């Protein structure tokens, strides 16, 4: 099978950990061994990943410069896609004993300039703050902020991904049995001008939505949305909580999950399953078991 595996933020950085290269590499090393198991099970693999904390950190560093010297979010997204892709690529090569080609591709993703997300930013980036500090940073940096759990974070526009122009390059790599790391952080958001040329835009695309689109454009057999929760639960957090081993796309779309929790993952899973593929949500270490139907939540057409 051709599998698109989307790594949740916990694969790179667990909440409360310092945003250091050492912490990220330690987590990626663990993730690489789980991904290597998918490849050894005989599957072709495309890997995507998040970048929220990393792009937020670069934006904070950029704030030390003059306002006209700071890089826009699309450029910061490209920088983090290269940085994180490098670490995943190296650790996956190590986990595979360097017997398979692995490549990272910076990936542009087309969005609509009239997407309502540009008027209502919702995507969290950067570290968490106490409310007072978040408000002070928002005041000085011209940010918009929102509550994330018991903390506060910066929010930026998150438009819907429409097309992946680089899919044709990805298909060339897959035809040569290359394991590809791409669409990091949801990809680099771009707009198409009236003359057909492309230009970057200040936004961050949801990684799960971009991964579902990528899986459809590549004709993948399965989409894995890998996180630190073992499955989708009905009544999560209550005494009546129960895991849901399988859902139809329609059942998944009918579940009302908060946007800040598993909601985006379930929405992406349902969208891919509705197109005829298999979606799976669960723990990173259970990736192979999810494909086999013995772990996680599977969403089918």
Q: Which residues are catalytic?
A: 9-10, 123, 207, 265
Give the whole-angstrom CA distance, residue 276 versus residue 246.
Answer: 15
Strand-strand pairing, 2-7 and 44-49? parallel
Contact partners, residue 66, CB within 8 Å, separation at least 6:
none
Give the whole-angstrom CA distance, residue 1 versus residue 117.
Answer: 34
Beta bridge partners of 124: 155
3 state DSSP class of 20: coil
Provide Rg for the chain, Cα atoms: 19
Tokens 């989708």 appear where? 232
List the 144-148 sheet strands across, edge first.
123-129, 151-156, 144-148
Give the whole-angstrom CA distance, residue 280 versus residue 226.
Answer: 8
DSSP one-letter code for 282: E
Tokens 């759990």 appear where? 149
Whether 288 contacts 41, CB under 8 Å: yes
Alpha helices in the chain (DSSP H): 21-40, 52-62, 73-95, 131-141, 167-175, 207-218, 249-254, 263-274, 287-292
């Amino acid at each position: 099978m051709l599998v698109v595996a989307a790594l949740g933020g916990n694969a790179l950085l667990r909440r409360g950990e310092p945003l250091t290269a050492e912490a990220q590499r330690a987590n990626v090393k663990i993730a690489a061994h789980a991904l290597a198991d998918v490849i050894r099970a005989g599957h072709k693999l495309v890997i995507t990943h998040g970048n929220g904390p990393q792009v937020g950190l670069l934006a904070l560093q950029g704030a030390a410069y003059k306002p006209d010297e700071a890089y826009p979010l699309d450029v910061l997204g490209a920088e983090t896609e290269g940085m994180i892709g490098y670490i995943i690529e190296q650790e996956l090569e190590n986990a595979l004993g360097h017997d398979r080609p692995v490549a990272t591709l910076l990936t542009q993703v087309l969005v609509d300039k009239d997407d309502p997300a540009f008027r209502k930013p919702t995507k969290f980036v950067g570290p968490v703050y106490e409310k007072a500090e978040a408000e002070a940073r928002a005041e000085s940096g011209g940010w918009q902020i929102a509550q994330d759990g018991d903390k506060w974070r910066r929010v930026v526009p998150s438009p819907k991904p429409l097309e992946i122009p680089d899919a044709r390059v990805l298909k060339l790599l897959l035809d040569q049995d290359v394991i590809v790391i791409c669409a990091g952080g949801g990809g680099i958001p771009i707009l198409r001008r009236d003359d057909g040329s492309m230009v970057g835009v200040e936004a961050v695309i949801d990684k799960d939505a971009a991964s579902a689109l990528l899986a459809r454009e590549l004709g993948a057999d399965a989409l894995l949305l890998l996180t630190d929760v073992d499955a989708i639960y009905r009544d999560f957090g209550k005494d009546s909580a129960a895991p849901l081993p399988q859902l139809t796309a329609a059942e998944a779309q009918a579940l009302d999950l908060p946007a800040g929790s598993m909601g985006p993952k379930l929405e992406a899973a349902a969208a891919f399953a509705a197109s005829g593929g298999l979606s799976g949500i669960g723990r990173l270490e259970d990736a192979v078991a999810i494909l086999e139907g013995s772990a996680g939540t599977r969403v089918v057409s």
